[in-house]
Every structure is written in C-alpha cells, then in structure tokens.
Amino acid sequence: MRERFPRFFDATIWAAVILADAALLLGGVAAGFLVLQKLGGNYADLALVGAAGSLAYALASPLSARLGPRFGLRRMTVTGAALYATASLLMSLSGSVVQVIGASALTGLAGAMLWPNVEAELARGRQGPLLRRRLSIFNTMWCAGATFGPFLGSFIYPSDLVAAGPDGRAAINLVFYAAAALALGTLLFLLLWRSAQPAAAEVRRHIAAETPRDPARLRAFLLMAYVGNFMCYVVIAVLRNLYQKLASQQWADQEPARKDFVLLTALGLASTLMFLAMFFAHRWPYRLKRHIFAQLALVAAVAVVALTGSFWVSVAAFLVIGVASSFIYSGSLFYSIEGTTESSHMAGWHECVLGLGGVCGLLFSGFSPSLLRHLGVESDYWLVRTPYLVAAGIFALGIVVQLAIYQRHRPQFVRQS
C-alpha cells in the first residue's frame, strides 16, 4: 500500500504536525489559566511553568538530534508524540504548581524528541529551492496547528463562572483530555508517515539554478538569525505563558481565557499566512533590511500589546507579531540546514536556540514585577505590563547585537565576492 501511494503516506506528516502543535498550544494555555484560577498562582508561577518546558526543550533538542540518526528519526518522533499525550494527562492530575511544572518539563522533552527529527527527515536530500519549499510547507503546517489549538480552546475552555464553580477543575481537565487526544492523533499519523525523497535529477537541476553560496555571508546570517530567533522566542514565550495574567486583569469578568485564546489564534493565523507566502517567495534570504525590519515591527507590536487596553488593537498587534515572528523563525531554520549535510544536528541547535529564548524571556520577564515591587513600585498598571516591556527591551538589544555581527563579517563578503 505504501509503495503504491507514496505521496499519500508522505503527506501524513502534515496532519501529524498540525495536531502536535494544536495539542501544545491548547494544553499550554489551559495550564496557565489552571495555575491562576484554581491553584492561586502569580506571574512568577507562570514563568516557572513555562520555563520548565522551554528549558527541557532547549537541553534535550541537541541530544535528541544526535540520537535521531542512530535510533531512527521516526522512532524518536513517535516517542515524542507519546510523551505529549502523557504530559497532557498528567496536567489533568496536577494538584499543585510544582506538579504543573513537572508536566510542563515533560512536554518540553516530548517536543525535543519530535521537532528536530521531523525537520531533519523533511530536509533530507534537499537543498536550495527544494529545501526552502519543503520547510515553508512544514512551517505553514505547524502554524496551522498553532492556530487550530487556541481556536479549539476558545470553544471548550470553561467560562469564568464554570471555572470558579465546584465543577471548574473537571471542566478545565476536559481541555487537557482534548490535548491528549490530539497528541495520540499525532502518533497515529507519524506511524503512517513514509518520507518521499526527491529524484536525484530534480535535486541537481535545482542546485544548478541556485546562485553560488557565499560561506561568509551564510555564517553571518546564521549567527544573526540565531540571535533574532532567540529574541523572538523571548517574546513568543511571554505571550504564550504569561499573557493569561494581563488578560485576567484587563478583561476581568469578560471571559479573559476566551480572549487570550482568540489572540493566540490571530497570532497563529498571521504566521500561517506568512509562511504560506514564503513558499512562493525565494528572494528573502541574505537580505539585511528585511531581516531587521521584521524585528523592529515585532518590538513595536509588543510595546503596543503592553500599553493598549483595547482588545481589537491587541488583535492587530498579535497579527503583526505573527507575521514578523514567522519571517524570523524561517531564517533561523533555513540558515541552519542550508549548505550542510548534518541537517539533524543543525536542526537540533536551531530548536535549542528558541528553547533558550523561552527560558530567558520567562525568567527575566516573569520575575520583573516582583523585583519592581521590592524596589517600591506599587502601580498595578505598570507591574502587570512590565514583562512585555522587558521582552521588548531585550529584543531591541538583540537587534544591536545582530548589526554588530553583520559589520564584523561584512569585510569578508567583499574578499569573497
């Protein structure tokens, strides 16, 4: 059957990718509201929950990428999907913030086993335009999952009245059960997946049409892309793991959970459309102005998120962040795999970078309100918005670092041109 319909079984990976990220976003946001609504948590607790998952992801991704070729890429991904389902079920049993932190760490380990090895298998045998197209499809699909998860959550997460009632915990647990079901769907489609390799003649034809690669330029943009992706996931982690607190304060008694899910749906939708556009665009790599402009737009949008009280202005800001973050992420993944046969190894480092960004963003941003309170700041308006302003400031500093990297490598472009 698999030999007769290779395209069909190759395409099952896209269903797996959609369901995996849907499970991650659905369970992750629900865990944040569980901490706030039923476990009495605060910003610091939200930061620790998110940081546990990001740290496990960052530490395990390079190791998982190394082990993938040895033990089998698909075997590693199937194990990761099974751990996703297990972590979601453990969330439903968690009775304290510490237990939620442990389940979040398991989620990070699951992702580390899944994503670098999926990316490596998808990239195998491809370079240049073939690689860009394959990665663009992958990015579109995981963002479709990051859209579907919050969209589903906006319907099934209980209302404030139900969540606060005696059956509130059981209603929240239904969200975790749904996330576990999505993860099991991921596992099923991964078992069916058989990656199709392009014909050698097709690969040679595309490589021949590609402009010769400048190694110095590739190294410079790889380093800048890693810094940019690190900073990008400082912001994404804050929006995914801490925004529940700001939403609860800004829209108290107006279903803040539903609004948070809608905002993350807008973020995922914008990213999906941007990745889809990049499937057709091939002139974006190695363009400094486009690389920096996307990041400046993201910094401005984060500042708007922090300062606005309007839900619809927040939606617009999340849309801008979705477009900009997808461009930044694409560069990090593309430059990691471009020009190297160690696709699994480099994909692991790409994922490690974004995981570390999440850890640093959550720890610096999540504990900043407590620090300001100790320093004498008492305004709740500023304290609840501090994490987003800190994230924007960190990102602005990262842009300066990237420009310094570019200037340092620029003389080598001249010598090799």
Got the DSSP string for 84-148? HHHHHHHHHH--SHHHHHHHHHHHHHHHHHHHHHHHHHHHTT--HHHHHHHHHHHHHHHHHHHHH
Fold of the CATH domain 6-416: Growth Hormone; Chain: A; (1.20.1250)
Query: Encoding tokens for residue 187?
Result: 């596992």
pTM of the model: 0.83
Query: Encoding tokens for residue 289?
Result: 């102005």
Residue 301, number of CB atoms within 10 A of its CB:
23
Question: Do 241 and 41 contact (CB within 8 A), yes or no?
Answer: no
Tens-digit pLDDT string for the chain (417 aa) = 555 556 667 788 999 999 999 999 999 999 999 999 999 888 889 999 999 999 999 899 888 888 888 888 888 999 999 999 999 999 999 999 999 999 999 999 999 999 888 888 887 766 666 777 777 888 899 999 999 999 999 999 999 889 888 899 999 999 999 999 999 999 999 998 877 665 555 555 555 555 666 778 888 888 998 999 999 999 998 999 889 889 888 888 788 989 999 999 999 999 999 988 887 776 777 888 988 999 999 999 999 999 998 999 999 999 999 999 999 988 887 787 775 554 445 667 777 888 888 888 888 888 888 888 888 888 888 888 999 999 999 999 999 999 999 998 888 775 544
Of 322, 12, 305, 282, nearest in space to 146 by CA: 322
Question: Do 259 and 384 contact (CB within 8 A), yes or no?
Answer: no
**Widest CA span of the chain, in angstroms?**
71
Question: Do 303 and 297 contact (CB within 8 A), yes or no?
Answer: no
Q: Which residue has the tokens 């801008």?
A: 320
Q: Output the CA–CA distances (angstroms, integers) from residue 59 to 53, 55, 188, 350, 355, in the order listed.
A: 10, 6, 27, 12, 8
What is the distance between the alpha carbons of residues 180 and 174, in angstroms, rounded to a whole number? 10
What is the distance between the alpha carbons of residues 160 and 251, in angstroms, rounded to a whole number? 11
Residue 99, number of CB atoms within 10 A of its CB:
14
Number of helices (H), then strands (E), belonging to the chain: the values are 16, 0
Q: Is 11 exposed, middle or buried (0-12, 13-18, 19+ CB in 10 A)?
A: middle
Give the 3-state secondary structure of residue 209. helix
